[in-house]
Amino acid sequence: MIYGDFDLRRGDHDGKPAQNTPPRWGGNDNPVLTVVNAETAAAFLGSSAALAVPEHVRKLQEDLVTLGFSVVGKPDGGFGIRTGWAVREFQIYASMNRVACVRPEKQGQLLLDQAGVPVKINNLDVYFDSSAAIVAKAGKTPAVSGSTTGPASYYVDSLQSVANASKYNGPISGVVNEQTRIAIEHWLDNDYRCPVVFEAWAMSQGVRSNLAPSGCNVWAHDSFTPGAPRILVRDFSDYFEFPAERTQVDYQSVGYYQSGSFGGPNATKAHSWSPEADMSVKNVTGVAANSSQLNTPALSTYRTIRVVAEAECFGRFDVLNAWDNALISAGPCHWTMGLFNNGKYGKGEFVGFIAYLKHKSNETFNKVFGNFGLYPIYDWGDSRLYADDLKTYSGWVKLTNDTFAQAQPSHADTEFDELLKTKEEAHYLKTWHWFYRMGMAGRTLQEYKTTMWSMAKVRIADILKKEITFHVGAATVTSTLGKVFTSEKSVAILLRWHVYRPSHVVNDDYEKITPIVQQAVNGTAGVNWPPAVASWGDAHEAVLTEKLLSAAAAINSTITTSIVFGATQPQGSVRTGRNTFVLEV
């Protein structure tokens, strides 16, 4: 029996006998009298002969740190936010088929002297321990002769991947229920460790050189804040299937810490997997660009969306941003998980994508989100997910709680708790582990990639349906954006602008497109503008596109360079002629 057999949870604590403050365990205040002997209970009645009250929460925290879940922070006997994170993460990794385990020859190894320096057996005062917290302090191993990838940390070097002999099958809840206690005991007895380890390394010509101080076993977004070292991961699980070209037994690049008013993980093209995470024609459509079939709806749509993706994320599915007020952003339109405003996070478009993914492929949704206890509050098709005035889908997330029944095909609202929108709570989704999961989905899961692309197509379709009214001479013309702007280039510009500022494109009170069309109609010498929009040709499209690009670039200059993407590639850049854009259904 560990932790007094209590279902420890948020808000629990070990009390303070010296201040006559009883503990709270299992969500119940002052449970001492019913679970311990009279001598222990006398601690709260002033008996000097009383035994010490057990510290169940502190012991839990110490055990989690030993097992590698250092996000818990310094054990203090209070079950707070990050202890809850640590328990949830333990439940996640204890559910996996494979975990990390201390290698037999490293179990209880002689590791550190009092200065924290790795030593061999001698007469120094040293620690005999294989706890993750101790080994992580040991730094890097000596360089391996002939290695092309550099040294490892003592911690990573002490681990191996093993089959999980006691999988956790309970809910991802953050509550230390009976199944969780059984799993923790098994992990402790068998020297299991968290199978995904993040470390900060200085790199020299692509090779690991020095492990940064305090850079071993990085967890929270603010656990390691220097920006120069690269954050690498060593994954001992088999949760994401590595392609044959990637060696899972070596470190993989994840990103780096980007400072700012929020700060957190960030990734650029330098940290991306190529070609696996490229938003290439092959990765999006399933086949490479064919020079004899460049004008299909699939490639027309591809060229248009790819312009936006170049501006947003370098055209990579694994280039994510978790350092600004958007919590985390991903995808060709870099949908945000939620925007911080007035002291809390609001709903974000990435949650709309999560709902769409759940609708399109429940299997892939579970692989990336559901298995980790994360769900959208509103499912796809719920009107509350869609903002008609902005033509966007956005929402917020909920986490599974301890009543969640995994085997059930459907779930009641009571099985979830909404993730609170404060920084302290929502920043759970900014941890390196969440950052990595979303990045690996973009590297390894085809359905994830194609659904992201499909979501971008939904956005285009909604934008192009927007009505627009302007004047040609004495005639009042009511049309739609999709009938006025018909080239791949002009639609790409509209999409880029809408990603940056949706209201500028589709909101009646703030939109800036009507004046651009009116200016083109009124101020273009040598071009006749008949009221029948369907009769406009290449000359009309060229004027409209020129003025649209100029206005968009004044708002966000990234469009000026991204608009030419593809010029040197087989599919080519966006086409400029009238009616060249054809949306793939």
| Residue 297 lies in domain | 267-459
Given pLDDT bands bounded at 50, 70 and 90, which one contains residue 139? confident
Do residues 325 and 439 share a domain?
Answer: yes
Q: Is 255 left (phi over 0), alpha (psi -120 to 50) or beta?
A: left
SS3 of 185-239: the string is: HHHHHCCEECCEEEEEEEEECCEEEEEEEEEECCCCCCCCCCCCCEEEEEECCCC
Rounded-to-integer distance, Cα 466 and Cα 184, Å? 55
Is pLDDT above 60 for 48? no
pLDDT at 207 over 60: yes
Residue 109 domain flag: yes
Q: Which long-range contacts (CB under 8 A, 24 or more apart) does 465-471 make?
A: 466/391, 466/505, 466/506, 468/513, 468/514, 468/517, 469/514, 470/514, 470/517, 470/518, 470/521, 471/518, 471/521
Closest C-alpha among 437, 459, 458 to residue 448: 437
Pair 454, 465 in one domain = no
Task: Please tell me the pTM assigned to this model.
Answer: 0.93
Task: Report the C-alpha gap between 219 and 129 in whole angstroms.
Answer: 22
**What one-character DSSP code corresponds to residue 261?**
S
pLDDT tens for residues 150-196?
899 989 999 999 999 999 999 999 999 999 999 999 999 999 999 99
> Are residue 290 and residue 234 in the same domain, yes or no?
no
- pLDDT tens-digit series, residues 519-551: 999 988 889 999 999 999 999 999 999 999 999
Q: What is the rounded CA–CA span in Å between residue 45 and residue 51?
A: 12
pLDDT computed for residue 117 by the predictor: 57
Query: Do 485 and 345 share a structural domain?
Result: no
Whether 420 is covered by a domain: the verdict is: yes
DSSP state of 78: B
Last residue of a domain, one of 258, 282, 310: 258
Token pair, residue 349, equals 């478009």
Would you tell me how many other CB atoms lie within 10 Å of the CB of residue 130? 20
pLDDT at 126 over 50: no
Reported confidence tier of residue 124, pLDDT bands at 50, 70, 90: very low
Looking at 459, 481, 515, the residue that finishes a domain is 459
Considering the domain architecture, whether residues 287 and 385 belong to the same structural domain is answered as yes
Q: Could you give the percent of the chain with pLDDT greater than 70?
A: 92
Residue 17, pLDDT > 90, answer no
- Flag whether pLDDT at 405 surpasses 70: yes
**Residue pair 583/464 in contact by the 8 Å Cβ criterion:** yes
Q: Which token pair is 330? A: 């991903």
CA angle 27–29–35, rounded 5-degree value:
90
39 and 156 inside one domain: yes
Establish if 438 belongs to a structural domain: yes
Residue 52 pLDDT: 64
pLDDT over 50 at 40, yes or no: no
454 with 482, same domain?
Answer: no
Q: Is residue 548 part of a domain?
A: yes
Instruction: Assess whether 430 and 499 both reside in one domain.
Output: no
Cis peptide before 275 (omega within 30 of 0): yes
Whether residues 452 and 470 fall in one domain: no
User: What pLDDT does 148 receive?
Assistant: 64
User: What's the total number of domains in the chain?
Assistant: 3
Angle, to 10 degrees, between the axis of helix 488-500 and the axis of helix 446-464? 100
Identify whether residues 525 and 451 lie together within a single domain. Answer: no
